[in-house]
Amino acid sequence: MGTVVSLTMPVDASAGGASAEDEPPRATAVVERIFGELDQTFSLYRTDSEASRLARGELSLRDASAGMRRRYEDALEWRLRTEGAFTPERPDGALDLSGLIKAYAIHEAGASLLALGRPDWCLNAGGDVLVSGSPAPGTAEPWEAGIVDPADRGVLLAGYPLGGRRRHAALATSGSAERGDHIWSGTSKKKAFVQVSVAAADMETADVLATAIVAGGLPMLDRATAHWDIAVLAVGPDGALLGTPDFRGQ
């Protein structure tokens, strides 16, 4: 999917009866398998993927796989909920589910880790972070996620606690820091924000709304904070920061 995926977890030799040496390879193998399978279908970085065939017009959505059609239905639902700020089509009309599928992959990988009996972990895919439990198993200590300055990737703008007893377990960032300017807004106006980070209870909500706010600007930010339980940190073109109370309190 054109990015790097990392898994961090505290190793407990007593968890699930597995040895401390066996647990990391088992967990990473599960994550690699899920991302690999979804990459083969949905990645536009692979010329042989189903998504690339759709984008080139070699395959119609009607003839696409059931999984592709389900993710497209999810994307259409988000387009309605965000009043068009989030869309699965590029300006040229080609289908592009990149704004949704990475979040789906992270969610599926997290569900599989829980099924393995691993309650404490932090999964990071290209700067989008989903956590479970705590870095100190058996405590309420949260994981600390950092947000990179889009103007200087060596600098952190802020941190945000996830997991533990916090209501947010996911943090997604959309903008230009990771892959350049790749979000379209459907308008020729200059974007109000060059980067937006959203913390939410689940990764799909965080990722979709971060993308939608970059595309839709301040009106979409107001709509998102009014309708979803999220925290937002937005970076303007001049570097000015706009944060909801949860971020300002950090």
Q: Convert the pLDDT of each residue in 187-203 to its tens digit.
A: 445 789 999 999 999 99
Domain that holds residue 42: 5-248
Give 16's pLDDT tier (boundaries 50, 70, 90): low
Distance CA 241, CA 219 (A): 16
- Structure confidence by residue, pLDDT tens digits, 126-164: 999 999 999 999 999 999 999 999 999 889 999 999 999
pTM over 0.85: yes
pLDDT of the residue at 183: 52
Torsion (CA) 234, 217, 101, 148 in degrees, nearest 10: -20
Domains held by the chain: number: 1
> Where residue 123 sits, what CATH number does that domain have?
3.10.520.10
Backbone angles phi, psi at 16, to 5 degrees: 65, 10
Strand order in the sheet with 231-235: 5-8, 121-125, 128-132, 170-175, 195-200, 231-235, 241-243
Does the pLDDT at position 207 exceed 90? yes
Average pLDDT, the chain: 89
Nearest Cα residue to 223 out of 79, 77, 82, 87:
82
Q: Please give the average per-residue pLDDT across 83-97, as a whole number.
A: 89
Give 48's pLDDT tier (boundaries 50, 70, 90): very high
Nearest Cα residue to 112 out of 186, 32, 177:
32
Distance CA 225, CA 12 (A): 38
- Structure confidence by residue, pLDDT tens digits, 169-183: 999 999 864 544 445
Q: Which residues of 10-22 are buried (b: 16+ CB within 10 A; e: fewer)?
A: ebeeebeebeeee
- Structure confidence by residue, pLDDT tens digits, 51-64: 999 999 999 999 99
Give 21's pLDDT tier (boundaries 50, 70, 90): low
In percent, the amount of the chain with pLDDT more than 70 equals 88
Residue 121 contacts residue 134 (beta carbons within 8 Å): no
